[in-house]
Structure 1
Amino acid sequence: MVLVNYIYFKGGCGHCLGMPFDLHDTFKSEFYLDEKRSVKVPMMTIKNLTTPYFRDEELSCTVVELKYSGNASTLFIFPDQGRMQQVEASFQPENLRKWKDSLRPRMIDDLCLPKFFISTDYSLEQVLLELGIREVFSTQADLSAITGTKDLRVSQVVHKAVLDVAETGTEAAAATRVKTNLRCGKIYSMTIYFNRPFLMIISDINTHIAVFMAKVTNPKAPFQELEIEPVCLSACLIGQ
Structure 2
Amino acid sequence: MCGPRRPEADFHVSENRTVRVPMMRRENLILPYFRDEELACTVVELKYTSNDSALFILPDEGKTPDVEAKLLPETLRRWRSFLRPREIAALYLPRFSISSDYNLQDILPQLGIGEVFSDQADLSGVTNTTPLRVSQVVHSALLNVAEEGTEGSASTGIVLERKSFQSNTVRFDRPFLFSVVLKDTQSIIFLGKIVDPSPPRALL
When normalised by structure 1's length, the TM-score is: 0.75
Contact 2:175 2:194 in 1 (8 A): yes
Does the alignment pair 1:97 with 2:82?
A: no
C-alpha distance in structure 1 between counterparts of 2:89 and 2:51, whole Å: 26
**Which residue number in structure 1 is paired with residue 105 of structure 2?**
125
Does the alignment pair 1:48 with 2:28?
A: yes
C-alpha distance in structure 2 between counterparts of 1:162 and 1:173, whole Å: 16
1:99 corresponds to which letter in structure 2? Answer: W
C-alpha distance in structure 2 between counterparts of 1:215 and 1:140, whole Å: 40
Q: What's the CA shift for 1:174?
A: 3.1
Contact 2:45 2:56 in 1 (8 A): yes
**Which residue number in structure 2 is paired with residue 61 of structure 1?**
41
When normalised by structure 2's length, the TM-score is: 0.87
1:28 corresponds to which letter in structure 2? Answer: E
**Which residue number in structure 2 is paired with residue 213 of structure 1?**
191
> Which ranges in structure 2 are unaligned for 5 or more consecutive residues?
none
Contact 2:21 2:199 in 1 (8 A): no
> Given the alignment, which residue of 166, 175, 178 partners 2:163?
178
**Which residue number in structure 1 is paired with residue 177 of structure 2?**
199
> Given the alignment, which residue of 140, 146, 149 partners 1:166?
146
Map Cα deviations across residues 97-137 of structure 1 (whole Å, 9 max, x no partner): 10010000000111100000112212121121222221111
C-alpha distance in structure 1 between counterparts of 2:128 and 2:180, whole Å: 40
Contact 1:202 1:213 in 2 (8 A): yes
Q: What's the CA shift for 1:71?
A: 4.0
> Which ranges in structure 1 are unaligned for 5 or more consecutive residues?
1-23, 182-188, 223-240
Contact 1:48 1:179 in 2 (8 A): yes
Q: What's the CA shift for 1:157?
A: 1.1
1:162 corresponds to which letter in structure 2? Answer: L
C-alpha distance in structure 1 between counterparts of 2:148 and 2:73, whole Å: 32
Q: RMSD over aligned Cα, in angstroms? A: 2.0
Contact 2:22 2:198 in 1 (8 A): no
Change (3 A) 1:69 1:199: same
Does the alignment pair 1:138 with 2:118?
A: yes
**Which residue number in structure 2 is paired with residue 12 of structure 1?**
none
* Partner secondary structure for residue 159 of structure 2: coil
* Partner secondary structure for residue 97 of structure 1: helix
Change (3 A) 1:214 1:139: same
C-alpha distance in structure 1 between counterparts of 2:11 and 2:36, whole Å: 23
Structure with the larger helix share: 1
2:163 corresponds to which letter in structure 1? Answer: V
Q: What's the CA shift for 1:50?
A: 0.2
